Amino acid sequence: MSKLPLYELQKARLEAYATAGYNFDPEKAAEYTAATGWRLDDYEIELPAEAPGPAEPQGAWAAAQQVLRNYTFPPPDLITGIFLPDQPLDQRVMVLRGRFLLFTFWFGVRIGGVTDETRTLPDGSQEQIWGYNYRTLEGHFERGQIDFSIHKNLRTGRVWFHIHAFSQTGRIRNPLYWLGFRLFGRMLQKRFAHQSLKRLRQQVEEMLRKGWVTPSAQDAPPVQAVSSQAAAQEQLKDSR
């Protein structure tokens, strides 16, 4: 098995996705509602609280920011994100390796925006927020955007992780993949969200216990090159 890092194994695909278009129109995000056939999801989990005031340099909020930046929180048996480690976050393109039953699939996403701000809430308190979204590219089985964000209430010290997404099944030409995704796609979406919440909290707690030992940016089992995956080749051919 190759010892090359995942981003080297997937270099050609990363380069191809760098110029790929979205499979939906981000400018119409306000129109993507349940009434127009889109799924809207929101998930949240509490993280260790901090003292009131701005986020602590080595507290839960900053630890969560690092985990989020490194993309180590998704369950690796379901989704693994592969990206160039020295690429600026706001320019990042990722190859997502997805697993479903006996198949391995390869999808592309691109960071659509980074949030780094302090907001004033209706009750007058302030909330410090950091996060980013990524958007699905051509060939993805889904269409839409998912936002990951870390929040801290500066008045109370409460810290939490939030996931927001809007999505819709994309174009799937292969009938076997279409049926599988229709039957299990929603279940896998929810599993991704719930396990991502738990894994991020676990990694944050571990960082706080160990004195800021950061998880590896490619903390996932090794994989083979895409050329060795017959199912992946078929999926890629169908998506073009």
Mean pLDDT value across residues 168-179: 61
CB 132 within 8 A of CB 70: no
What is the residue range of 205's domain? 6-239
Is a pLDDT exceeding 80 seen at residue 228? no
In this structure, the strands spanning 79-82 and 93-100 are: antiparallel
Greatest mean pLDDT among 48-52, 119-123, 219-223: 48-52
Is a pLDDT exceeding 50 seen at residue 240? no
142, β-bridge pairs: 169
- Predicted TM-score (pTM) of the model is 0.83
Domains identified in the chain, total number: 1
CA 107 to chain CA centroid, Å, is 12
Tokens of 24: 């939906």
Helices then strands, counting H and E runs in the chain, come out as 5, 7
Report if residue 72 sits inside a domain.
yes
CA distance linking residue 136 with residue 140, whole number of Å: 6
Tokens of 22: 């979205």
Report if residue 1 sits inside a domain.
no
Q: Backbone dihedral region of 17: left (phi > 0), alpha (psi from -120 to 50 degrees) or beta?
A: alpha
CA 38 to chain CA centroid, Å, is 19
CATH classification at residue 208: 3.30.530.20
* Residues sharing a CB contact under 8 Å with residue 24, sequence separation 6 or more, in sequence order: 32, 135, 136, 143, 144, 145, 168
Mean pLDDT value across residues 148-158: 97
> To which H or E segment does residue 17 belong?
helix 11-17
Greatest mean pLDDT among 57-61, 165-169, 179-183, 209-213: 57-61
**pLDDT tens-digit readout, 27-44:** 999 999 999 989 999 999
Mean pLDDT value across residues 101-112: 84
For the chain, give the mean pLDDT.
83
Per-residue pLDDT band at 175 (split at 50, 70, 90): low
